[in-house]
Amino acid sequence: MLRSALLRSRHAFTGVAQGSFVGATRASSEDRLRLALDASSFHTISQIHGSVLHFVGDGGEEGDALATTEPGVVVAVRVADCVPVLVEGEGFVAAIHAGWRGTAGDIVRKSIATMEARLGRRVLRAAVGPAIGRSCYEVSPEVVEALEGVAPVGLHWREGRNVDLVALNLGILRSLGVEAEAVGPCTRCSPDYWSHRRSGAAAGRQVGAICF
């Protein structure tokens, strides 16, 4: 399992062999992560490539970001080329699923605004996990245009139609005053990680998970 030196909360980014969600093994994968993080419970959400954040216990069933203020509760997102973002503040953590649609929908800014408004506390640190890299991620002009709408001014996040979602989400986090770092390789290039672009429908899902 891959971890960030920046985050103070218990967390992990898994790969192919460590806590990935693959078909019938999903329950056992969750149990392995819960035990590895010494957590009391494990929570995910039905991801829809949108930009909505829910808190554990609120009853939200669909969204792409999940937060908790409860110690020992893991929140997690599933990815296979999309960007997993783990964030923490004083007494709360969240996991964010930022594919191109979520990134274009400004999920990181919206999630941070929702948490800070509700809790009255700032997001302090974030880690961006393994995701597809710029050289492997060519997209349509329409996707480039959508992403340009949320990119901080002056950030180098693309070369032509090849876009870097990791750099873009890092830039957004830092523009909000959040201390942030990226960890892990390109998922398309590395056999240690699931990649939808490499394997198509056969790809499993790795996990970004965090608790405090």
Classify residue 150 by burial, with Cβ atoms within 10 Å: 0-12, 13-18, 19+.
middle
pLDDT tens-digit map of 63-98: 999 999 999 999 999 999 999 999 999 999 999 999
Confidence (pLDDT) at 27 = 67
pLDDT of 104-134, one tens digit each? 999 999 999 999 999 999 999 999 999 999 9
Q: What is the mean pLDDT of the chain?
A: 94
Confidence of residue 16 (pLDDT cuts 50, 70, 90): confident
pTM: 0.94
Smallest CA-to-CA distance from 73 within 37, 97, 27 is with: 37
With a cut of 80, say whether residue 140 has pLDDT above it: yes
10-199 is a CATH 2.40.160.10 domain: no
